[in-house]
Structure formats: C-alpha cells, structure tokens
Structure 1
Amino acid sequence: MSPVLAQAQSIGSPSLWGVSIVVLLVLLVADFVVTRRPHEVRLREAVGWSIFYLLLPVVFGLGLWAWFGGPQALEFLTGFVVEKSLSVDNLFVFMLLLTGFAVPAALQQRVLLYGIVGALVLRGVFIAAGAALLQAGTWAFLVFGAILFLTAVKIMREAVKGSDFGIEVSEMRSVRLLRKWMPVTEDYRAAKLTVREGGRRALTPLAVVVVAVFATDVVFAVDSVPAVYGITEDPYLVFTTNAFALLGLRALYFVLHAALAKLAHLNHGLAIILGFIGVKLVLHWAHGVWPAVPEIPTLLSLGVIIVVLATVTVTSLAVRRREAASDSH
C-alpha cells in the first residue's frame, strides 16, 4: 500500500465518514423539503442556494486545514475545482433531457434533485472500486490515466467539430426498456413517479426522465472519479469533493441556464483539464517505478486548472461579443 493511501485511511476515520454522511443526508432531506411543493425557481432563489453551496466547501476546506494540515486542504480544494468544472457537463445534459421530455418548469428542480441523489450513489460505487484498484497496485494509475486521456481526445474532437451533446431521448436504451416494461401516462401528474390508471400501475413521464438522468450519470461517474483520483488518493477526499460539487448543481442549473450557452470553448477547456490530469496520473505511476521521473505537484495542478478555465471563459465571451457585433451590422 502506498504511504498516501495509508495516510488517506487515517484521515477518513469511521467517525468522520459517519458524520460526513449524516450531514450529506441532512442536506439532501433539506433539498427535498424545499422542492416538496413544485414551483418555478426564480433567479434570486437559485443564486442564494448557489452561494450557500459554494461557501460549504470553503468552510470544509478550512476545517481540513485546521485538523489535518495544508496538503489535505489543498488536495480537497483542487479536487473540488476539477469536479465542479466537470459537473458543468452534467448541466448541459440535464438541459437536453429536461427539454426533450418537456418537463414543466415547476418540476425541473425535483428532477435535478433525483439526478443528484443518483449521481452521489454512483460516485460512491465508483470511488470504492477506484480505491480497490489502487490497493491492488500502482498500475491502476495507468488505467485511470488512459480513461481520462481517451475521454479528453473524444471531447476535444467533438469540440473542434462543433458537435453538441446530441441525445435522442426516444432512442435511449433505458427509456425504451422502461416503456416496454410498464405503460407511461401521456402527461405529468404533479411530482408523482407512478399512478394507478386503468386498473394497473403506470409510470409518469417524470419517472422516465429520472431514469434517463440516472443512465447518463453513469458516463459522468466513469470520467469524474478517475479525474479526482489524479489529485488525491484519499477515498474520503475523493468522495467529499464529488459530494460538494454535486450538491449545488440543482441551484446552479437555474443560475447558468442561459450563461452555459455562451461558453463556446468550455469543452475545449474540459478536454485540456482531463488530458492534463491523465498525464499527471501516468507520471505519478512512472515516478513510483523510476524515481527520476518528475511528478506534478497539487499546487501546480490547481494553477493549471484555474488558468485553463479562466482562459476558455475569456475566449468564449470574446467570441460571443464578436458574433453579437457582426449580427448588429
């Protein structure tokens, strides 16, 4: 076992895991309480919740700094920035699914909340699998690095071609399977997932879109978990970075609904970040075999990620300004 993993296990003690999971459940229950009465989310409400969920990881990071020291806090912060960046892709897909299923505005936040819960469960499964791979040997870093590098190439290729996240809702395997298994009502029935109709149980379109969101979350879990393992080998930090990044997605969706479309180069930036972390993982493996091979420190990783995100934001906004100027002439 590597020294980092041994240290990670001491950080993620059973009591700390227990407290963290309880706090996570409390936050999820609070979200369900907020969404129990379907309503259209106003910008002010979404901004308030977004600020709250951005402050939480800052407070958590300060707690890590006080209890465990700067390296753990820095790993958490870097991992959180990576996961938050990758979670923006989740929002793109959520937008496509909610549009494709014509989800009423009042029900959208409930669908997003179900999606976040499903994503958290999937992240837990993949994090445990990743930890088991790392216990088996350092070759797991090569596996993670290959996954991230191939994903980066795919995203960059689609970004260069100008391809969108094309999803044909009716062609999704999960949707077709559900409709074969159970009847689906023609319209939404408030926030109900199933209803009794014609003497038998039927799904509502809300249930179908929730399953579709779960199915797409699998793809994101495959990418995001290896990405954060490139920052830290501590399973506890990997889980908390994922949890904090996902918790605020519901509110962030409504804040960024219009803004996301303006970030024309976002996928270019995400591809660069994933490729960079893939290289970092391979170098980490090589350093263990040949100590002369340099490693990329966490602080440098954080700097590169921030610079890439800032650059694609500036270039994307510049492109939009040029397009707006040409349209006005």
Structure 2
Amino acid sequence: MPLGTVLAASGPDTVASTGLWTVTVAALLLLLAIDIVLTRRPHEVHMREAVAWSVFYLVLPLAFGAYLWSAFGTTVAVEFFTGYVVEKSLSVDNLFVFMLLLTAFAVPAELAQRVLLYGIIGALVLRVVFIALGAAALQSGTWAFLLFGAILVVTAAKVLREAVKGGEQEVDIDSMRSVRLLRRFVPVTGDYRGFRVVVREGGRLAVTPLAPAVVAVFATDIVFAVDSVPAVYGVTEDPFLVFATNAFALLGLRALYFVLKGALTKLRHLNHGLAVILAFIGVKLILHWAHGLWAWVPEIPTLASLGVIVAVLATVTLTSLRPERRAVR
C-alpha cells in the first residue's frame, strides 16, 4: 500500500490526494538517490558546494509552499511554513549532536557526508513511523493533543535545564546501549576502510568504525523524532503537511552541516530558544485540547505561532552572536 494511503487512512483528513502523495514521495526518493550518487566518491565537502546545495534545499520548500498557497489557500500554506520553521530549528540542534558524534568517532572529513546521509535516511524512516502513530492517535480522540502537549512541555523543561547548566554538550559513546550491543557481538576494526562497513579480517567478519557511527546516529534519530513530530502536530493535524515539513527540513541537513559547522558552537543560546518554542507549542496543544471541552478556553492561531517562533529564533541568534562581537572588539 502506498505511503500516502497508509498515513491518510490512519489519521485526520488531509489536503493531499493520492496523486500528490505519490509525486511528493517520488520526488523525495529521487533527491535521496541523487544524494547517494553524489556521495559515492569519498571527498571533503568545500564551502562553495555546501552553500550551493543549501540554497537549493531552501528554495525547494519555498516553491512548495507557494504551490500549496495557490492550490489550497493561505491557511494550508501558513501551516506548512510554520511547521517547516519549527522542524528546521529543531534540525539545527540535531546537527550539533551529529557534529559531536562525528568528532567522537573520529570520522574522516571525506566520509562525514555519507554518515550524515545515512542519518537523514534513518530519520526520515523513523519520522514516517511516528507520523503514522501520531495520526492514528489523533484519530482516536482529542486526548492525543493533551499527550503531545505534555510531551513537549516536559521536553522543553529538560532542554532548558541542560541549557541553564551551561558547559559544552558531550556525547558518551560507550554509554549508548546500541553501540555497546554492536561491539559485544561484532568485532570492530581499528581504522576506517572507506565506505566499507563490513570487512574480513583475520579470517572472520568484522565491522569498521563506520558501523557504530551510523548506529549512534540512528539511535539519536529516535530521540529527535519523539519531540519533533508532536511539535509539528501542534501546528497542523494534516499528516501530509507533517510529512512534508519533516522531509524538507531533513533533506538539506547534509549540506547545512558543512555550512554551519563553524557557527554551531557559537549559537550558545539555541537550546534556550528551542525550549521556549517546544513549551509554547506544548501549551498551544493543551489549549486546543481544552478548547474542545470548554469553548471559552482561547486557542492560539497558526499565524501568531509563526510570529512567536520566528521572533524567538531571531532573539536567541542575536543574543548568541553579541558576546562573539564583544570578544572580537
């Protein structure tokens, strides 16, 4: 059964027809195939290449949003753009963790883009699963809004608590159960062998460090999906829009990583802003649930949500960069 049919059948009404679902998924697979072809030869990504692809993946959602605007009206387009901004901001935080993982595993620069591509594909697969589960939960009753809202508020408190503690974020590879499990059953070589994941060494099969690096990225993808999918469902209940915002936000991550690699460590207040955004959307979901029970409870319009999210991101970016300017002076 086609992906769009599965998601549409498991959740609320969607603006997308089966044809639009098919075209969107086909375009996504084509773009992933192009990425796989481009990364088949190990090479270090230079800034010009990264910027060019980042611009391309920024123009794509803008063009898609313009199509939604002309085909389905302002409300659908605003929901898409708001969801995209939310997902993109969360994805930047994901990039920081990916950077730490690549450093911890000492992934060579020429192999980094392939590891990131594996991570993006894994994230897309996991998002599809979580989107389908979320759509089914919304279909079963309004309690799902309360559940999603509670998840986001708790996540926001956790992110804010870690941000307030300060200090550099660390990733303990040895504490990851998935990595420990892999190393327990399969020997790992001491060096990378290009894109090869499995090699024969000493007469037995072994995996290269590329395998635990990819496993670690997949493991973090699960954590990211838990808060990102409910966050977008706080903007729109349409499974197609949730899928589209996730897909467009994830597609450009590989190129964006190399563009922002030097700037990621300077965005010291990013987690503070993400905590505010997650808490805001969580409250929005809880108010939406309460409005279904008590009509006098106010709801937050999507356009107002977009304004708040953009304002928060702009604020934390400015406050993060000001100390850098002072240090330069």
Q: TM bucket by the smaller chain?
A: over 0.9
- Give the AA of the match of 2:64: F
Structure 1 unpaired stretches of 5+: none
- Give the AA of the match of 2:99: M
How far apart are residue 184 of structure 1 and its match?
0.9
Tell me the secondary structure at the aligned position of residue 295 of structure 2.
coil
Deviations 1:48-74 (A, max 9, x none): 000000000001001111111111111
For residues 180 and 303 of structure 1, the distance between their equivalents in structure 2, rounded to whole angstroms, comes to 49
2:147 is aligned to: 143
Match of 2:277 among 266, 273, 287: 273
How far apart are residue 89 of structure 1 and its match?
1.2
Tell me the secondary structure at the aligned position of residue 171 of structure 2.
coil
Tell me the secondary structure at the aligned position of residue 199 of structure 2.
strand
Deviations 1:148-173 (A, max 9, x none): 00111111111111044321112211
- Give the AA of the match of 2:41: R
Between 1:168-177 and 1:52-61, the stretch displaced more is 168-177
2:38 is aligned to: 34
For residues 102 and 321 of structure 1, the distance between their equivalents in structure 2, rounded to whole angstroms, comes to 31
For residues 83 and 168 of structure 2, the distance between their equivalents in structure 1, rounded to whole angstroms, comes to 26
**Are residues 1:260 and 2:270 paired?**
no
2:29 is aligned to: 25
For residues 67 and 136 of structure 2, the distance between their equivalents in structure 1, rounded to whole angstroms, comes to 27
Match of 2:102 among 90, 98, 104: 98
Structure 2 unpaired stretches of 5+: 1-8
How far apart are residue 197 of structure 1 and its match?
1.8
**Are residues 1:44 and 2:48 paired?**
yes
Between 1:148-157 and 1:160-169, the stretch displaced more is 160-169
TM-score normalised according to structure 2 size: 0.95
1:179 is aligned to: 183
Tell me the secondary structure at the aligned position of residue 97 of structure 1.
helix
1:15 is aligned to: 19
CA contact (8 A) 1:158 1:164 kept: no
CA change 1:315–1:291 in 2 (3 A) is same
Query: Which structure 1 residue ranges, 4+ long, deviate > 4 Å from structure 2?
Result: 5-8
1:210 is aligned to: 214
For residues 292 and 279 of structure 1, the distance between their equivalents in structure 2, rounded to whole angstroms, comes to 16
Query: Structure 1 vs Structure 2: percent identity of aligned residues?
Result: 70
**Are residues 1:219 and 2:219 paired?**
no
- Give the AA of the match of 1:320: E
For residues 233 and 168 of structure 2, the distance between their equivalents in structure 1, rounded to whole angstroms, comes to 28
Deviations 1:132-161 (A, max 9, x none): 100110010011001100111111111111
For residues 122 and 129 of structure 1, the distance between their equivalents in structure 2, rounded to whole angstroms, comes to 11
1:108-123 to 2 correspondences below 5 Å: 108-123=112-127
How far apart are residue 12 of structure 1 and its match?
2.6
> What RMSD in Å do the two structures reach over aligned CA positions?
1.4
